[in-house]
């Protein structure tokens, strides 16, 4: 279930809410002042590629892979 960040236009509080994909977010209210004047804050998501099948993991040269393993 994705977590969405919101900011209250009334008091400036930033808060997070969990919604299922496709849920209606029009009823979100601020937990501090209970205002319905909130807007969603967009942020860059964090993505980490793990496992086989990703370019950064499978197509490195042997020396690059050895350097990464030595730093861990």
Where exactly are the structural domains of the chain?
A: 3-71
CA distance 29 to 15: 10
Q: Please give the pLDDT value at position 25.
A: 85
Q: Over 60: is that where the pLDDT of 65 sits? A: no
Cα dist from 51 to 36, 63, 69, whole Å? 43, 19, 15
Judge contact between 6 and 23, C-beta under 8 A: no
Tokens standing for residue 45:
């998501």
Asked if 6 and 16 count as a contact pair (C-beta separation under 8 A), the reply is yes
**Is 72 a residue whose pLDDT tops 70?**
no
Q: What is the pLDDT of residues 3-48, one digit of tens each?
A: 889 999 999 999 999 888 888 888 999 999 999 999 999 977 777 7
Residue 66 φ/ψ, nearest 5 degrees: -65, -40
Q: Which residue would you say has higher pLDDT here, 53 or 57? A: 53
Q: Can you give the pTM of this predicted structure?
A: 0.58
């Amino acid at each position: 279930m994705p977590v969405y960040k919101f900011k209250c236009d009334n008091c400036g509080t930033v808060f997070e809410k969990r919604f299922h994909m496709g849920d209606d977010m029009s009823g979100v209210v601020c937990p501090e002042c209970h205002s319905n004047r909130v807007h969603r804050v967009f942020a860059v998501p964090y993505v980490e590629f793990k496992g086989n099948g990703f370019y950064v993991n499978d197509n490195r040269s042997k020396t690059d892979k050895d350097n990464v393993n030595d730093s861990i």
